[in-house]
Structure 1
Amino acid sequence: MNELAIRSIAGVAMIAIAILATVTGGYAFALLVAGVATAVYWEWMRMVRPWSFPWKIGGFFYALIPALALLWVRDRADNGLELVFWIFIVTWATDIGAYAAGRKIGGPKLATRISPNKTIAGLFGGMFAAGLGGALWAEYAGLGPHYFWLGAVMAFLAQGGDLFESWMKRRAGVKDSSNILPGHGGIFDRVDGLMVVAVAAAALSWVNLL
């Protein structure tokens, strides 16, 4: 089986698990979030092992805060289930849009020293896809009108999270955060943008802006 097929099957499986656990809620969602957070911290520690002690402490909170944000949104926020799916859709659309635009359009690089493959076209492609996907879900789920434009903003934040992890990997001298996901690398590689979006969405919801 070629790498693309393995990557596709693994991607579909991860999405299916995320959707099932989110819809089920309760312990199923909590266990999924806790498991992802634990994996992210483990991968973080693998990369920063020779670094200074504050990086090790910082990684604990970097993994914990998005996990708590997702749990709070799912169980405490208004329209929590719909908002979690909005977070997922915006993040997934960002990745897809950035990849497609980067491949089809190319052009100037976004951050050559951090991630040589990322382009400015990919940044805007991700923002467009996230804005569109977030708006369509907001319309379907009956969410507020602000969701029709916030998707693009969240995509910008998601790609910031992606670049931060890319910087960490470059400094650590590794290609992926780990190799536990066939064709995808590590858990951190897959949720680096989602973690940032989850915190931002939870914070806005907390202050009644979402």
Structure 2
Amino acid sequence: MARFRPHGAGGGAVGICAPSSAVRRPVNAPLPPRSDLPVRAAVGAVLIALAALALWVGDWLFWIILSAVSLLMMAEWSGLAHASARNTRIAQFTICVPLAIMAPKWIAAGPGFFALGLIFGAMFFVAIVTRRQILAVGAVYVVLPVLALLWLRAQPDGLLLAFWSMALVWACDIGAYFAGRNLGGPKLAPRVSPNKTWSGLLGGVVGAALLGAILYRFGLPLHLAIASPFLAVVAQAGDLYESWLKRRAGVKDSGTLLPGHGGFLDRLDGLVPVAPIAALLVFLPEVIR
């Protein structure tokens, strides 16, 4: 069965685009001191600006940034799995195949199912060559949301749809942060993530619901607006899942590439499960009609 090995079971991963592996600090380490907040805020502002620019421009810029992030996430996943540098490179090079098929000229031609097949083909290839099933799972984990976001952006209302799928996660995070900080209350999953509370979960749901209502006024389909609060629960489940992975690996952060934030897996843990489901919610009504 695929599982993460505890810290000390093997060497950290160092692959292409992977200057560092997971940060091995105590899982229950205290929150960053307030002196780190300016750095955290600055990095967050840069990330938001870069994401907004890529989303607005779309096309090749959106694909390049998402592909680069996917490779970095694969390196961080390998670090959590304590994979060797060789196996990390194999996993990264393998996911380059479906990423290449997702390039704008191909996505516009509609080979989404072909790319989807290549993702799972990459999963089996990585599992066979590296003999590490967890790396195969990681290949799907980091590439599937990229395919979903690229497909959403390529739709006639792609800017709105892709923005909705990304922004509802941000709205969920903001709502969860302020509700959890101001209301506190019972812990949501103390053994997995001690800082998360039920009030934070509800705050995230409210934040996503408000975003869905606002975007509905700008043309977001009604069924997507209604789905927004439910996707907030999915986003927080993704957050908990990544926290569980880090706890199993014995680390606090998935990486150090983003000062004050950890790694890309830390920042995108909610978007990873939301993007594919959001794409399905857009795709299925078109098929049913």
Q: 1:78: Cα distance to partner?
A: 4.0
Counting only pairs closer than 5 Å after superposition, residues 69-88 of structure 1 correspond to structure 2 as: 69-75=148-154, 77-88=155-166
More divergent stretch after superposition (52-61 vs 80-89): 52-61
Counting only pairs closer than 5 Å after superposition, residues 94-133 of structure 1 correspond to structure 2 as: 94-133=172-211
Match of 2:144 in 1: 65
Structure whose residues are more often helix by fraction: 1
CA shift digits 1:1-41 (9 cap, x unpaired): 93111111111110100010111111100011101111111
Task: Return the alpha-carbon distance in structure 2 between the equivalents of residues 2 and 49 of structure 1.
Answer: 31
Q: Please list every run of 5 or more consecutive structure 1 residues that lacks an aligned counterpart in the other structure.
A: none
Match of 1:41 in 2: 74
Match of 2:98 in 1: none
Task: Return the alpha-carbon distance in structure 2 between the equivalents of residues 78 and 192 of structure 1.
Answer: 27
* 1:206 counterpart = 2:283: yes
TM-score (normalised: structure 1): 0.94
| SS of aligned partner of 2:75 | helix
* 1:135 counterpart = 2:168: no
CA shift digits 1:124-150 (9 cap, x unpaired): 0000001101221231x2122223321
| Structure showing greater Rg | 2
Q: Please list every run of 5 or more consecutive structure 2 residues that lacks an aligned counterpart in the other structure.
A: 1-33, 85-130
Task: Return the alpha-carbon distance in structure 2 between the equivalents of residues 206 and 200 of structure 1.
Answer: 10
TM-score (normalised: structure 2): 0.69
* 1:10 counterpart = 2:43: yes
Task: Return the alpha-carbon distance in structure 1 between the equivalents of residues 212 and 67 of structure 2.
Answer: 25
| Amino acid in structure 2 at the alignment position of 1:119 | T
| SS of aligned partner of 1:208 | helix
| Amino acid in structure 1 at the alignment position of 2:260 | G
CA shift digits 1:140-192 (9 cap, x unpaired): x2122223321101100000100000000000010000011011010110001
Task: Return the alpha-carbon distance in structure 2 between the equivalents of residues 138 and 84 of structure 1.
Answer: 14
User: Of the candidates 258, 263, 267, which is equivalent to residue 181 of structure 1?
Assistant: 258
* 1:55 counterpart = 2:134: yes
* 1:145 counterpart = 2:222: yes
Task: Return the alpha-carbon distance in structure 2 between the equivalents of residues 132 and 193 of structure 1.
Answer: 18
Task: Return the alpha-carbon distance in structure 2 between the equivalents of residues 188 and 127 of structure 1.
Answer: 22
Quick check: 1:86–1:138 contact (8 Å CA) kept in 2?
no
Quick check: 2:81–2:249 contact (8 Å CA) kept in 1?
yes
Q: 1:209: Cα distance to partner?
A: 6.7
* 1:197 counterpart = 2:274: yes
Identity across aligned pairs (percent)? 45
Quick check: 1:135–1:147 contact (8 Å CA) kept in 2?
no
Q: 1:206: Cα distance to partner?
A: 1.4
* 1:159 counterpart = 2:236: yes
Q: 1:208: Cα distance to partner?
A: 1.9
Where does structure 1 differ by over 6 angstroms across 4 or more consecutive aligned residues? none
| Amino acid in structure 2 at the alignment position of 1:34 | S
User: Of the candidates 42, 56, 74, which is equivalent to residue 23 of structure 1?
Assistant: 56
Task: Return the alpha-carbon distance in structure 1 between the equivalents of residues 205 and 144 of structure 2.
Answer: 24
| SS of aligned partner of 1:2 | helix
Match of 2:100 in 1: none
Task: Return the alpha-carbon distance in structure 2 between the equivalents of residues 144 and 137 of structure 1.
Answer: 9
